[in-house]
Structure formats: C-alpha cells, structure tokens
Amino acid sequence: MKRRSLLTVASAATVMTLGGVGYAAHRRVRNPYYRGPTSDHFDGLRFFLPDQATDKSLPDVIRWQAKRAREPWPKSFPSPFSGDHPPERVGGLRVVLIGHASYLVQVAGRNILIDPVFAKRASPVRFAGPKRVNPPGIAFADLPPIDAVLITHNHYDHLDGPSLARIWQAHQPLIVAPLGNDAILRGYDDTMHVETRDWGESVDLGDGLQVHLTPANHWSARGVRDRRMALWCAFVITSPRGVHYHVGDTGFGDGSLFRDIRARFGPPRLATLPIGAYEPRWFMRAQHVDPAEAVEAFRLLGAEQALGHHWGTFQLTDEGIERPAEALNAALGAAGIPLERFLALRPGQVWQV
C-alpha cells in the first residue's frame, strides 16, 4: 500500500487511535460535541487541565514515526486466563480484565463495564491500525446483565462505538461519560441514554454505589480536528466494598492528581492503573505513565491493591509486549513492595475479594 503523506495508513490509524495530533485541531473554530459555560478547565471551545504539557505537533508525530524503534510484537499473545464466565451477580467485589483497558467490575450486586472494547482493531477503520493479539477475556455472549457502563475518554482504544451500541441494545445500561461524549455515543445509536458529568461531579448508581468523575493528565480526540473538544476523566467508585479508583490513561504530572484522590476519598481499597503504551518517553510522558510512575502513583494513593492494564492487547507504542509487566515487577522490587500488591493483569484474569 502506498504511503499517504509521510505516514503509512497503519501508522496514521495508530495516531488516530491515540487521538490525532494537535496541529490540525487548532484550525477548527466550532466544538461539535459540547456547548457550555467557560470554567477553569474549559475555554468555550476546548477542555484543558491547568499546567498540563502542551499538545504534540505534526512535526513531533513525524519525528516519532520516522525514527521509530518499535520492538516487534507477536501476531498472537494468548492469555492463560481467557474465557472467564462471570457469575450473574456478586455481593463482594470481583474485577476481571476483558483486555487492554476494558474491565468488568462486579460489586455489591451491580455489574459495571469500564471502557468496553470488543473490536478486532482499536482504530477508526477496520482494515488498518492496532490489531488485538488476544481475544477478549470475556466473550460478549458471556457478559452478565450490565447495569452501568463508564467511559473515560473518546480515544478508539477506550471508546468502541459499535460495541457500545451492541451493549446498549442488549442490556440498556446507565452510561456515564465526561462532558461532550454523549454526542459521540449517540452517533452509534441515537436511542442511547448517556449521563454526562464534569470533573468533580457524581452519578448515583443505586444501592450505595456512586461514581465520581475526576481529572486525568490526558486529552481527547476522535480525529485530527477535534482535539480536547470532549472531556476526559478518571473514575472513583464508592461502594459498601470500599473505594475503587480507576484511571484509563494519564500522565504522572507532579503527582498531585493521586494525592488529591487520597485526600478526598481516603486510601483506595483498589486502584486500577495503566502500565503500558509509554515509549518513547519524550513523546508519551505527558499522557501515559510508565510502570515506575504507576508504582509511585500507587504509593501516593496509599491503595491496598493495584491492578495494571493498558498493555499486552493492542500495540500503540514502541515497547515490547512483555516489557510493561517486567518493568512493573522491577519497580515494585526497587520500592520494596510485594509483587502481589500490584498485578499486571492478562485478559480474563480475575481479582476478587
């Protein structure tokens, strides 16, 4: 296939999965997703996190792609845990990784999906872009009744529109997403009911469960002209089983995000944190933690347990497929933290209280 501009179609689809680049976003003068009052993190057109690093430019992307030192991934990386058959309901807390950053959380009798992606590619197109190297850890047909779906942001490895439409049609769950993402979701099914919230706001899920939207050092885009026009977030789930802090994607920043979570909610019972898609650091540092930073976030949170995701399913960046898990264990060892307190999950792997 011929190269388009300076990027191959596959590389362009990878960039689109990560949400486009900042150079073209600034040409657009209308927000297609959200209209609302300005705030300390919305300027009337785009959302921002104060003091967050600036957007990468097209020359940055070209530099990364042209000098890319990508470690090859295998075409297949099957999980030893795939094929989980979750119970219909759980009174305690049961968490299983579906793959990449997709989870099923069963807590206090409620079933919650986070960033469910069942697509074969994390891409805006079916013929190119990051292709999954293992099947979902839970088959779609084996999902229990789904009560709620939480969407952290609109990048293609987190917001899979066709899968969400299918989930909606099968389960009619409450869908919770940051501001502006309802317009994107209804593009896949205009009957979909989506509750959108800003950072600092909450949604009551019933039976003593609440979900709270909190900031993350990240951004959003579905293409090259809509960067940061929909909000992104992390989630805190409070329930009778304790506090669960979930981050889809984030950079470490100065660590204040994690200190603030602990100050507001107390040390989490569980933290689900990204550990992959971090190389090269000069390009990824502002938006994706590496395993050592994830361990430091775990320490700052004071969490009892952490589970690692965002690795081993879609190759988005340059590190090898097993490097995140290896680096995580090395960082835990250097910090004197038992390895079992922060597990790098594989698809279908279950952690349960």
Domains of the chain: 93-352 (3.60.15.10)
* 110 touches 206 (CB < 8 A): yes
In the predicted model, what is the mean pLDDT of the chain? 92
pLDDT digits (tens, 9 = 90+) for 183-196: 999 999 999 999 99
* 334 touches 301 (CB < 8 A): no
Phi, psi of 106 (to 5 degrees): -110, 115
Cβ–Cβ contacts within 10 Å for residue 73, how many? 17
Residue 180 contacts by C-beta under 8 Å, 6 or more apart in sequence? Answer: 31, 33, 34, 47, 196, 220, 229, 230, 231
pLDDT tier, 57 (very low <50, low <70, confident <90, very high otherwise): confident
Residue 88 has pLDDT above 50, yes or no: yes
What integer is the mean pLDDT of 22-39?
A: 75
* 104 touches 63 (CB < 8 A): no
* 265 touches 232 (CB < 8 A): no
Dig out the tokens for 287 from the structure. Answer: 């938006």
Residue 335 contacts by C-beta under 8 Å, 6 or more apart in sequence? Answer: 295, 296, 299
Burial class (CB in 10 A: 0-12, 13-18, 19+), 271: buried
* 255 touches 297 (CB < 8 A): yes
pTM for this predicted structure: 0.94
* 54 touches 323 (CB < 8 A): no
Residue 38 has pLDDT above 90, yes or no: yes
Burial class (CB in 10 A: 0-12, 13-18, 19+), 212: buried
Residue 226 contacts by C-beta under 8 Å, 6 or more apart in sequence? Answer: 20, 25, 28, 31, 32, 33, 220
Q: Note the pLDDT of residue 63.
A: 84
pLDDT digits (tens, 9 = 90+) for 155-203: 999 999 999 999 999 999 999 999 999 999 999 999 999 999 999 999 9
* 76 touches 321 (CB < 8 A): no
Residue 119 has pLDDT above 90, yes or no: yes
Residue 246 has pLDDT above 90, yes or no: yes
Q: Return the ∠ at Cα 157 (arms to 153 and 159), rounded to 5°.
A: 45
DSSP string computed for 45-95: S-B--TTPPPPPPHHHHHHHHHT--PPP--S----TT------S--SSEEE
